[in-house]
Amino acid sequence: PVVVVAQVTSTPDKEQNFAACVALVREAAERGAGLVFLPEAFDFIGRDAAQTLSMAEPLDGDLMGRYAQLARDCGVWLSLGGFHERGHDWATTQRIYNCHALLGHDGRLVAAYRKAHLCDVELEGRVSMRESSFTNPGTELVAPVPTPAGKLGLSVCYDLRFPELSLALRRAGAEILTFPSAFTVPTGSAHWE
């Protein structure tokens, strides 16, 4: 099967981001894709933590519903690599999850992995990031998911720094390891090297 990895430059404008993702997914489907990967924060990147929290949605919300319809319309699997999810505990924690959602070609939510390793980094004079200040860490490894391209092991971005997660996914049968990312240039360059 044809697999497409799409890249977008997300903004705080969810509609603009959705339109860009729709265009990429439709083009991928027209080219015969069976599985399309979108990056971490495909839905939006907020200007700050407060805006990010205010814009987050549950997995059964409007935006994910529109992605499910897109998967059905195009007949493709969608790997949505980092959805800002208001989880079941939103009312008590007021924190979100960084959720890698996998939709089947029928739009059904096949799996949801919540990022376990949150990126807290301070590079003096370059970047300061504390994902843990507004995000809950996930607590479960998701078993590899059979897809048309093989068994996917789901993870997100900073999880890359923790090889035990990849080893556990591989031992569980993963044939493809995924690390959808929105690394900053200062924090990401060495990882991709």
Clarify whether 131 is annotated catalytic.
no
Of 21, 74, 119, 157, which one is the catalytic site residue? 157
Number of Cβ within a 10 Å radius of residue 55: 18
Phi, psi of 137 (to 5 degrees): -75, 145
Using alpha carbons only, how large is the chain's radius of gyration in Å? 16
CA-based nearest residue to 22, from 35, 38, 40, 11: 38
Of 57, 99, 115, 119, which one is the catalytic site residue? 115
Clarify whether 40 is annotated catalytic.
yes
CA-based nearest residue to 40, from 107, 96, 104, 98: 98
> Which tokens sit at 65?
């519903």
What DSSP designation does 33 have? E
Of 40, 57, 85, 131, which one is the catalytic site residue? 40
Clarify whether 151 is annotated catalytic.
no
Using DSSP bridges, classify how beta strands 127-130 and 150-153 pair: parallel, antiparallel or unpaired.
unpaired
In this structure, are residues 87 and 73 in contact, taking their beta carbons and an 8 Å threshold?
no
Cα–Cα separations (whole angstroms), residue 101 to 40, 42, 64, 67, 130: 10, 11, 9, 10, 23
In this structure, are residues 94 and 87 in contact, taking their beta carbons and an 8 Å threshold?
no
> Which tokens sit at 175?
């044939």
User: Which residues are tagged catalytic?
Assistant: 40, 115, 157
